[in-house]
Amino acid sequence: MKAIEVRDLVKVYGHEVRALDGVSLDVEGSTVHALLGPNGAGKTTLIRVITTQLKPNSGYARVFGYDVTKESSEVRSLIGYVPQEVSLWSDLSGYENMLMYSKIYGIPREIRRRRIEELLDFIGLSEASGRLVRTYSGGMIRRLEIAIALMRNPRLLILDEPTIGLDPGARSLVWDKISEFRRENGVTVFFATHYMDEADKYADYVTLLNQGRVVSHGTPNELKRHVEGNKVLITLKNNTDSSRLSEVLSSVPGVAISSFDNNCLELVISDVPTRLPAILEKIFVSGYSVSEVKIREATLDEVFIKLTGRRISDESGRMKEVVSVRKMIRRGG
Amino acid sequence: MRSIRLEPLFSMAEMELRRLRHDPFEIITRAVQPILWVAVFGSVMAKIRAFPSVGDYVSFITPGVILQSSTFISLAYGIALIFERESGILKKLLTSPIPRSYVVVGRALAGSVRASTQYVIVLASAAVLGAKIISNPLNLITGYLVLVLACMGFTGLSILIASLLRTRERFMGIIGAITMPLFFASNALYPIEVMPDVIKYVSLANPLTYTVSALRKLLVSNSYDILQETLILTCFTVLAIGAAVKNLRRIIE
Ligand SMILES: Nc1ncnc2c1ncn2[C@@H]1O[C@H](COP(=O)(O)OP(=O)(O)O)[C@@H](O)[C@H]1O
Ligand SMILES: [Mg+2]
């Protein structure tokens, strides 16, 4: 059964801001589905419609078959939700926050205390639970919020930018906990993010959203097929006569030289595992030596740029070194 | 079944009490002003016998002064919802299984619990300063319940204003503009008979007047003739909270 079904959804704020401009998407049950897009794409708006906070202008959204506007209380009973902004009372302790939400959520008195303690232990906040939330780090806050969302044993967990502003260590800890809970409970996870690496790494399916429209969707690997070939950076040992090498390499099929300055050669290769050895062979045979090879996998960011002409975020695009063979391929040196 | 459904309401009041326990600063600072009203204004006016019809003036203004600080706290409570709107709390509450009305009624109760702490502080200080307060526990408890009812109405009004204005600046502006006039256009400091006609009418439409009147009967005159006041206050509270529930949607758009 589909966990979420969205069709032709339009949401206009006031009279002019068209935050959602005909969005359709499906989230299959028991999958992890990412909604990836830059700031202002409409991710939060879509999540707020799905979580019954906002009424759409047209189109519909269903959660496990229940319409979010007509059957909103059924929808609310099935979801756990962590909003983009902090949703804790900072002047209460971590434990008190859980206690208050457990009462608001109507967790039966008999199991309340045990459930809270189990969850605090699960997310590693048992020791800090007596401290005021004001003193928590960003990662602790996010983990506590996720624990609160899990308290009701939701069938669908909806997370709006679950790791926004966290450092890499805290981000992976948050995801470890989400993954661990999923392994045990098989909950469906739908999350919004503008970190493309996070969507790539943790999601089974990704929907790319830009300016209120779905740009593309599929598994991360399917999406990456939009970008032809991977980038390969080859650093040569000595200063080289670029024109001669260019000539040599242009005879190899499936290779394009995207730049060549000083001794740094950037190639786009469509099938790295079979073609790269042949290229290196050519380089060696022609009498050059290589000091470093870097292979960069296509990123969802590149897919996004290719499809929309914009970047997802400024922090991405970092060189991802899948293979760094430093000073290993050396011939004649 | 019933108790399960009501628990979320009371838990919001509980949350407020827990917050107060962690940080009682506001309650104490808010009590300074009313204590000064009783101590300075009350004693001076009593000495010059400004309103001979009211008997002991310090006792007369004690209920008015309780209302002064508790309505201020109630009316300012809506700012909490504006903060929660900017944070994610309101979003989370509105996606939880409890009905929307619970969010407003629960928070109105929470605001009222916070505001009514003034009852104890001001009454105790007034008694020390020589006010003659009826000490029958039944009167004291009834008075407290009337105050809670009225403060729920004022908190509801504050939530309504917060939902309509939605930004801190506008909210603070309006609340600042209405609280003092509300206090002066009531019977909190002087009997209605001495007011000019226009203010007399305003004060008769002012829920504060009925709250003060009920407390005065219970705490100063030892009278239980408060049916009319209670009915009017109940109407006010139901209307204010009803309007706030109806408009809550606006705060989250
Ligand atoms: N409450 C609101 N009122 C008016 N405009 C809004 C509101 N919330 C979001 N927007 C606008 O709608 C668009 C989409 O915003 P949002 O859904 O928050 O995007 P994202 O979560 O992808 O960053 C943006 O242009 C934003 O400025
Ligand atoms: Mg957002």
- For a mutational test of ligand 1's pocket, the pick from A6, A11, A45, i.e. the residue with the most ligand atoms closer than 8 A to its C-beta, is A45
DSSP state of A86: -
Share of chain A above pLDDT 70, in %: 93
What are B33-60's pLDDT values in tens digits? 888 888 888 888 888 887 888 888 999 9
Residue B148 has pLDDT above 90, yes or no: yes
How far is the C-alpha of A40 from the C-alpha of A19, rounded, in Å? 8
Residue B166 has pLDDT above 90, yes or no: no
Q: Which two tokens stand for residue B167?
A: 């930004």
Query: Residue B64 in contact with residue B186, Cβ under 8 Å?
Result: yes
The structural domains of chain B, with segments of one domain joined by +, span 7-252
What are A43-86's pLDDT values in tens digits? 999 999 999 999 999 999 999 999 999 999 999 999 999 999 99
The mean per-residue pLDDT over the stretch A88-116 comes to 94
In this prediction, residue A244 has a pLDDT band, given cuts at 50, 70 and 90, of confident
Best of A73, A84, A85 to disrupt the B interface by mutation (most B CBs within 10 Å)? A85
The mean per-residue pLDDT over the stretch A88-112 comes to 94
What are A179-228's pLDDT values in tens digits? 999 998 889 999 999 999 999 999 999 999 999 999 999 999 889 887 77
Query: Residue A23 in contact with residue A214, Cβ under 8 Å?
Result: yes
Q: How far is CA B209 from CA A103, B54, B213, in A?
A: 36, 15, 6
Residue A329's pLDDT is 33
Residue A325 has pLDDT above 50, yes or no: no
Residue A320 has pLDDT above 70, yes or no: no
- For each of the domains in chain A, give its residue range(s) and CATH number, in order of start: 4-224 (3.40.50.300), 230-297 (3.30.70.100)
How far is the C-alpha of B167 from the C-alpha of B156, rounded, in Å? 17
Q: What is the residue-averaged pLDDT of chain A?
A: 87
Q: Which two tokens stand for residue B187?
A: 């019977």
Q: How far is CA A72 from CA A106, A157, A202, B47, B94, in A?
A: 17, 16, 29, 63, 11
Place of tokens 């008195």: A109
Residue B114 has pLDDT above 70, yes or no: yes
Lowest mean pLDDT among A38-52, A238-252, B103-117: A238-252
Amino acid letter, residue B175 = I
Is this prediction's pTM over 0.95?
Answer: no
State whether B23 and A52 contact (CB < 8 Å). Answer: no
Picking from A3, A7, A2, A4, the residue whose alpha carbon sits closest to that of residue A58 is A7
How far is the C-alpha of A331 from the C-alpha of A119, rounded, in Å? 57
Residue A5 has pLDDT above 50, yes or no: yes
Q: Give counts: helices (H), strands (E), chain B.
A: 13, 0
Q: Which of A88, A100, A108 is opposite residue B11, by nearest beta carbon? A: A100
Please indicate whether residue A208, judged by its CB atom, sits closer than 6 Å to ligand 1: no
Q: Helix (H, G, I), strand (E, B), or coil: what is residue A159?
A: strand
Higher model confidence: residue A134 or residue A238? A134
For residue A20, give the ligand 1 atom closest to its CA. 14
Residue A230 has pLDDT above 90, yes or no: no
Does the ipTM surpass 0.90?
Answer: no
